[in-house]
Amino acid sequence: MSSHRVIVVGGGLAGLAASVRIAESGVPVDLFSVVPVKRSHSVCAQGGINACNEVARQQGYSEYEHFDETIYGGDFLADQHPALEMANWAPKIIDLLDRMGVPFNRTAEGFRDLRLFGGSLFKRTHFSGATTGQQLLYALDEQTRRYESEGKVTKYEFWEFLWPVIEDGRCVGIVAQDMRTMQIRAYRADAVVMATGGCGLVFGRSTNSTICTGAAAARCYQAGVWYGNPEMIQVHPTAIPGADKTRLMSESARGEGGRVWVPRKKGDTRKPREIPEAERYYFLEERYPAYGNIVPRDIATREIFSVCVNDGLGVYGENQVYLDLTHLPATTHHKLEGILEIYKKFAGEDPQHEPMRIFPSVHYSMGGLWTTFAKGSYNPPEPREKHKSGAAPPIDSRIGQGMQPGAIENARTNIEGLYAFGEVNFAYHGANRLGANALLSCIFDGLFCGVGVVNYLKSGTPSKSPHGTVSQSAYDRVVQQEERKARSIIDTVGKGGDDEAGNPYLIHRDLGNELTAACTVVKNGPRLEQCLARVGELKERYSRMKLADGATWTNQSFGFARAVGDMLVLADAIALASIQRRESRGAHYRTDYPNRDDANFMKSSVAKFDAAKRTTTVELVDLDASLIKPTARTYGKKDSATEQEKKSTPTAAMARASA
């Protein structure tokens, strides 16, 4: 076994895929997670995982078209080479998951079944009921457990990542805290893979799990790692609201034939079943005849928002629309059982008989730690025109055309030895992620970019100076920094009276409300400036924060309060990047700049943190658009040449709704 070690932080799909791949190559892995890895947020993914497959291929689909959809779906903000490699690998990833025993749904003949998903006209989404994320996570959890039992992976569950140890410009380990004993200590490694997911909790209630604070990414960011496209936050069109969180109603509900509608008559008080077909407004189908209910998420979200807020057509006059599955056959209901159960349990109605009532909610962070890649072998002299759906692909699907396999730069941050896999990085999805591409990108990062991590150990700096040669003082310094920080939070216990303003839970609530109002479906300059100022006020409140628990054992509210400080830093980056992107693109829609502006803004926003001043600056950095020429992203919308027309209706109503 190698004398090198790799630390993986996060045990969702990306972290587990990385652990398995790296351990398999003979390098021991230390796997850190704030929860038992089997409970990671990947379990919440429902609908499926995209990959070109034989049936779709014979109908004219190709890996290249999957790539094209991904770039178009992301409104041309993603670096193109990495997305190409991911699409080319997708079928191999499905095969591997299949070998691991994932119970993918089957056809009558026993082949893997497929369903339709947003942003495609072909069935190219593999699925396991409506709990695909759970099933994929379990398969990787099982493989990780196998390596754990062989001593190749060591798990540190209920350990929280606090800070990367960076010495001479390279990452040589981490400092982490045992959430039970509260012990803070350093761990050495030759490379660190961050796989810590998204930052939904910055928005308060979202479809994310309680652990998706973004704190780990925010800590790397404050330690000098750049953060790409923080303003690109996906608001999923269909979620059930709740008092503690919003719960996702998978896009597969629409992929399997679910229809979104509202009564044509404003304030219609009739029950849905009493409303005849002609009096129902299937607004997605009417506006987007080609894609209908499976337009990409940002578009569906804005249309639902607009129908409720601008047109006042929300069901029972509220901000909600119907997602109707009542017309579907029992076999389809069975395929969607996982999510129908969730609706039944949490909303108290049976969606087989009553249309569900849903509304958009924060769901996914396209942005994240900024990462690099080594371009692959496909480099046309000029970017090609957008691919015509069903046409023969210009290239085959051989690997290595998008990214160089095994290159040590793949999915690496601006810090040597520090990698970012999965949702925590900013790659692949641009300004909007297509449904069922998230599971793919997580596993792709782990399997494909994991090889680059191993090669970095073999041929990069660790080959000459392994972690053992790094001075202990580098680690001690960070441990002391974190101990000081912890003490300063614990020391607030019992100081002063019952101050609501300094309550960390209320600071978080107010942060969530503010960011949801200003930085989600509809944004505009003045409101964003106000948001930035309010985040400043929240930071000021945070500096006077008071903790209610001084325990030195399993102090959960301490951990939460510390994370709130990190969320505030991310909030700054999200608001600032939203302000500086004076255009509309994908999930980022500004009423004051309703058009896409490729000349000025087809660039990545890169946020950098000044540790001395504790401030964020955002710069625009060129991206790799060398494969496909940008085109207007219309999805064949009927009432306008482009989506722009719709976008140019900045209304007071929208602003009101978001206030």
* Catalytic residue set: 297
Residue 365, SS3? strand
Per CB under 8 A, which of residues 612..641 are in contact with another protein?
Answer: none
Closest approach, Cβ 236 to another protein, in A, equals 12
Q: Which is nearer to another protein, 155 or 188 (CB)?
A: 155
Q: Which of 195, 300, 521, 574 touches another protein (CB under 8 A)?
A: 521
Q: Which of 6, 175, 211, 436 touches another protein (CB under 8 A)?
A: 211
556 in contact with another protein (CB under 8 A): yes
Asked if 430 and 76 count as a contact pair (C-beta separation under 8 A), the reply is: yes
Number of helices (H), then strands (E), in the chain: 21, 21
Question: Residue 29: which of 453, 367, 409 has the closest Cα?
Answer: 453
44 in contact with another protein (CB under 8 A): yes
86 in contact with another protein (CB under 8 A): no
Q: Which stretch binds another protein (CB under 8 A): 103-111, 480-488, 585-593, 613-621?
A: 103-111
314 in contact with another protein (CB under 8 A): yes
Closest approach, Cβ 441 to another protein, in A, equals 17
Closest approach, Cβ 247 to another protein, in A, equals 5
Per CB under 8 A, which of residues 168..207 are in contact with another protein?
Answer: 180
Strands 603-610 and 615-622: antiparallel
Residue appearing with tokens 């994908």: 586
403 in contact with another protein (CB under 8 A): no
394 in contact with another protein (CB under 8 A): no
Question: Residue 46: which of 136, 114, 143 has the closest Cα?
Answer: 136
Q: How far is CA 368 from the centre of its chain?
A: 8
Asked if 604 and 229 count as a contact pair (C-beta separation under 8 A), the reply is: yes
Q: Which of 135, 238, 252, 437 touches another protein (CB under 8 A)?
A: 135
Q: Which is nearer to another protein, 217 or 223 (CB)?
A: 217
329 in contact with another protein (CB under 8 A): no
Q: Which is nearer to another protein, 359 or 370 (CB)?
A: 359
Query: Which residue type does 492 have?
Result: T
Closest approach, Cβ 209 to another protein, in A, equals 5
Strands (E), 366-436: 368-369, 418-420
Q: Which of 6, 7, 20, 299 touches another protein (CB under 8 A)?
A: 20
106 in contact with another protein (CB under 8 A): yes
Q: Which is nearer to another protein, 23 or 602 (CB)?
A: 23
Q: Which of 58, 99, 278, 330 touches another protein (CB under 8 A)?
A: 99
285 in contact with another protein (CB under 8 A): no
Question: Residue 219: which of 501, 488, 534, 9 has the closest Cα?
Answer: 9
Query: Which residue type does 229 have?
Result: N
b/e per residue 162-188 (b: at least 16 CB within 10 A): bbbbbbeebbbbbbbbebeebebebbb
Separation between Cα atoms, residue 540 and residue 534, nearest integer Å: 10
Separation between Cα atoms, residue 632 and residue 136, nearest integer Å: 35
Q: Which of 342, 532, 576, 577 touches another protein (CB under 8 A)?
A: 342
Residue 370, SS3? coil
Q: Which of 77, 248, 453, 528 touches another protein (CB under 8 A)?
A: 248
104 in contact with another protein (CB under 8 A): yes
Counting residues that bind another protein (by CB under 8 A) gives 94
Q: Which of 244, 277, 385, 639 touches another protein (CB under 8 A)?
A: 244
Per CB under 8 A, which of residues 480..509 are in contact with another protein?
Answer: 498, 503, 505-506, 509
Which residues is 193 bridged to in the sheet?
8, 419
Asked if 200 and 208 count as a contact pair (C-beta separation under 8 A), the reply is: yes
Q: Which of 213, 404, 516, 604 touches another protein (CB under 8 A)?
A: 516
Question: Residue 504: which of 544, 445, 463 has the closest Cα?
Answer: 544
655 in contact with another protein (CB under 8 A): no
Q: Which is nearer to another protein, 170 or 562 (CB)?
A: 562
9 in contact with another protein (CB under 8 A): no
Tell me, letter by letter, the H, E, C secondary structure of 183-203: CEEEEECCEEEECCCCCHHHH
Asked if 173 and 467 count as a contact pair (C-beta separation under 8 A), the reply is: yes
Q: Which stretch binds another protein (CB under 8 A): 130-138, 283-291, 384-392, 596-604?
A: 130-138
Q: What is the DSSP letter of 121?
A: S
Closest approach, Cβ 611 to another protein, in A, equals 31
Q: Which is nearer to another protein, 149 or 473 (CB)?
A: 149
Please give the torsion angle defined by the CA atoms of residues 481, 154, 427 and 302, in that order, rounded to the nearest 10 degrees.
Answer: -90
554 in contact with another protein (CB under 8 A): yes
Q: Which of 108, 330, 612, 641 touches another protein (CB under 8 A)?
A: 108
Closest approach, Cβ 44 to another protein, in A, equals 5
Strands 153-157 and 29-33: parallel
Judged on CB neighbours under 10 Å (0-12, 13-18, 19+), 209 is: buried
Per CB under 8 A, which of residues 223..242 are in contact with another protein?
Answer: 241-242
Q: Which of 26, 36, 390, 636 touches another protein (CB under 8 A)?
A: 36
Q: Which stretch binds another protein (CB under 8 A): 190-198, 255-263, 351-359, 432-440?
A: 351-359
Asked if 185 and 9 count as a contact pair (C-beta separation under 8 A), the reply is: no
128 in contact with another protein (CB under 8 A): yes
Locate 76 and state its tokens: 């041309």
